[in-house]
Amino acid sequence: MNLLNERAIYISLFYNYPPEKTTIRKFDMSQNENSRLDELKSYNILDTVPDKELDEIVEIASAICDTPVSLISLVDDERQWFKANVGFDKNQTPRSQAFCQHALNKPHEILVVSDPVNDDRFRDNPLVTGEPFIRFYAGAPLETPNGHVLGTLCVIDNKPREISENQKKALGLLANKVMSYLNDRKLLDEQSKRLNLTATRLKKITDQAPGALFQFEMALNGTVSFRFISNGISRLHPELDPQHLMEKPLHILDYVHPQDIRVLRKKIQDSFENLSEWNFEYRVLNGSRISWHQAKATPERKDNGNIIWYGIFQDITDRKEYEQTLEEILFDISHGLRGPVATLQGLMRNIEQDNYSTDRVKRYVKHVKTTSAKLDTLTRKLNETYSKKKEIRDVVMKD
């Protein structure tokens, strides 16, 4: 197996093509040109800025073959464009003048033109009859894993000559290096596009989530920043948008009730120091209206010591109003029941003191007494529950 075949199988495995599909195939140019052009476009390489790695490869090619000119030439439907260039003052020429177009349907042959003046294919070529007066050309095809030739790695001289078999071999190896670079670049480009697509989709999902999802970071020196915040923040605070908070993260405190800011800062600092979950309910000023928001976040320490939180802001005004209404109902129930219960208990004491002799009456009295005791216990528990919640809320408001 020759070197080019080994290289073809390596590339095919890298791109998940089964080895049996890498057998040498001869392409009819007219039938395969459209697919070749489509694959060339898929590399997104045309008209890109120079790459140091490829510039170094053409310099090596010139040094090995002792030629003043070396190029990485890519052929599209109208032109040949030079991705890397040594010793040639143009970045492209018409396709009709391209020597390497004759290598497009010979993916496993190095095209050598010892003297184009004596070659019917090239003697009238403007690059032969005029500047740069090409008198020697050798080009190694740049073959894709699919067997298409994108162009060549070529060396050019201004005098007729030959190159040795070792120089041809070196030129082929360098062409493989060029394709390895282009294939890696294409793979990275495709992965980047997939990642960007995933990020775009994820952002669309997060923007539809209730509340506002965020990444919030605090440095060791106390500097804070939002690394990410979804568009949901604009539903919570119509005056704010994600970009604004990315630039001025502390602006969100302008909407927090003044009595809650100190506690909010303390919660963040405690979470920073202890890596504890940050969970805080606070009041928000929207003009003259007060609403309730909740911030929940899980911290993570970065290698540089900074803490980053992954969390959510939510409007819990409806929930707070529901809880407050329920507490008021419980309070009303407990106070409403205590009067009748006290009356029942008083009646039971009077009945017991009268020493009724009838056993049935005594049994009734016992049942009523037990029931009134249960009602009394229930109302006391309701009253205690309400009182404790009220005390907790009062403490939070004072802090």
Q: How does DSSP classify residue 106?
A: -
Q: Which CATH architecture has domain 320-398?
A: Orthogonal Bundle (1.10)
Report the distance separating Cα 85 and Cα 56, nearest Å: 10
Q: Is 26 left (phi over 0), alpha (psi -120 to 50) or beta?
A: beta
**Rg for the chain (alpha carbons), in Å?**
41
All CATH 3.30.450.40 domain ranges in the chain, comma separated: 3-192
Residuewise pLDDT in 10s, the chain (399 residues): 343 344 443 333 333 433 333 333 333 445 588 999 999 999 999 999 999 999 999 999 999 999 999 999 999 999 999 999 999 989 999 999 999 999 998 888 999 999 999 999 999 999 999 999 999 999 999 999 999 999 999 999 999 999 999 999 999 999 999 999 999 998 888 887 776 666 666 666 666 667 888 889 999 998 999 988 888 888 888 888 888 888 898 888 888 898 898 888 888 899 999 999 988 888 988 777 888 999 999 999 998 999 999 988 888 888 887 777 777 776 666 666 666 666 666 766 766 666 655 666 666 667 677 777 777 777 677 667 666 666 665 554 454
Give the list of residues 6+ apart from residue 27 with CB closer than 8 angstroms, or none.
36, 105, 107, 147, 148
All CATH 1.10.287 domain ranges in the chain, comma separated: 320-398
Paired with 152 in beta bridges are 73, 141
All CATH 3.30.450.20 domain ranges in the chain, comma separated: 211-315
Q: Does the global pTM surpass 0.75? A: no
Report the distance separating Cα 194 and Cα 249, nearest Å: 30
Return the CATH superfamily for domain 211-315. Answer: PAS domain (3.30.450.20)
Q: How does DSSP classify residue 306?
A: -
Q: Which CATH architecture has domain 3-192?
A: 2-Layer Sandwich (3.30)
* Residue whose token pair is 């009734």: 364
Q: Where are the alpha helices (DSSP H) in the chain?
A: 3-14, 29-42, 52-65, 126-129, 165-208, 232-236, 242-247, 258-274, 317-353, 359-398
* Residue whose token pair is 């049935």: 360
Paired with 213 in beta bridges are 312
C-alpha 259: how far from chain center: 38
Of 155, 243, 144, residue with least CA distance to 186: 144
